Chains A and B, each alone.
Chain A
Amino acid sequence: GQQLNQSPQSMFIQEGEDVSMNCTSSSIFNTWLWYKQDPGEGPVLLIALYKAGELTSNGRLTAQFGITRKDSFLNISASIPSDVGIYFCAGRSNSARQLTFGSGTQLTVLP
């Protein structure tokens, strides 16, 4: 089956710093998605990417669909305390019916 490797597993950063996390897949994906999960809640979609090379922003968040179609990254600029949570990448290849999720990046923002 599809496998996603997401890194880093966790990050501790100071408020105001920029953050970067990435995902790589074992197969070519035709869609990459980034979700955020707050404690006690379900994941919420942040950014969706549909084309290789696509760069999309959502406020302070920017994500890119890798040219090889096997990777994606998410950047968060000028982090704030409410950025705390678990960030998941997710994607799907043409042969799969459902999304596969990465293992998550736990982000902690220190004041």
Chain B
Amino acid sequence: DTAVSQTPKYLVTQMGNDKSIKCEQNLGHDTMYWYKQDSKKFLKIMFSYNNKELIINETVPNRFSPKSPDKAHLNLHINSLELGDSAVYFCASSRRDRDYGYTFGSGTRLTVV
């Protein structure tokens, strides 16, 4: 069983489109995260939810909107996609807020053309 699963694995779309990435964890963790990995492999936190409550919202364009319907799911919706949004997006989870044992998904490679 995959602990943190993201879909889709690859996403190619045109500028201006709206797209969503889904994430689910079956670890019973309370906290979930979205990280963005750029072309230089730098990992940057975007959002964090603890028990469906938004607790971290870094400087991310408001075209990005996370949604957590329950503590096992954290989806990322992106409006009006831009070329600069091309990156690998990782979902992760941890047992609780401020816990260090992050479990990552395998990533979603988003390419905006």
Residues in A lying within 8 Å of B, measured CB to CB: 31, 33, 37, 40-45, 48, 86, 88, 92, 97-101, 103-104, 106
**Contact mask for chain B residues 25-44; partner A; CB cutoff 8 A; 1 contact, 0 none:** 00000000101000011111
Docked complex: B48-106 residues within 8 A CB-CB of A:
48, 55-56, 90, 92, 97-98, 100-106
Known: A86-B41, A97-B48, A101-B42. A42 touches B106 (CB 8 A): yes
Question: Which applies to chain B's interface (DSSP): helix, strand, loop or mixed?
Answer: strand
A33 — which chain B residues lie within 8 A by C-beta?
100
**What number of A-B contacts does a CB cutoff of 8 Å give?**
52
B112 at the A interface (CB under 8 A): no
11 pairs of residues in contact across A and B, judged by CB atoms under 8 Å: A31-B100, A42-B90, A42-B104, A42-B105, A43-B102, A45-B103, A86-B41, A92-B100, A99-B102, A101-B35, A101-B43
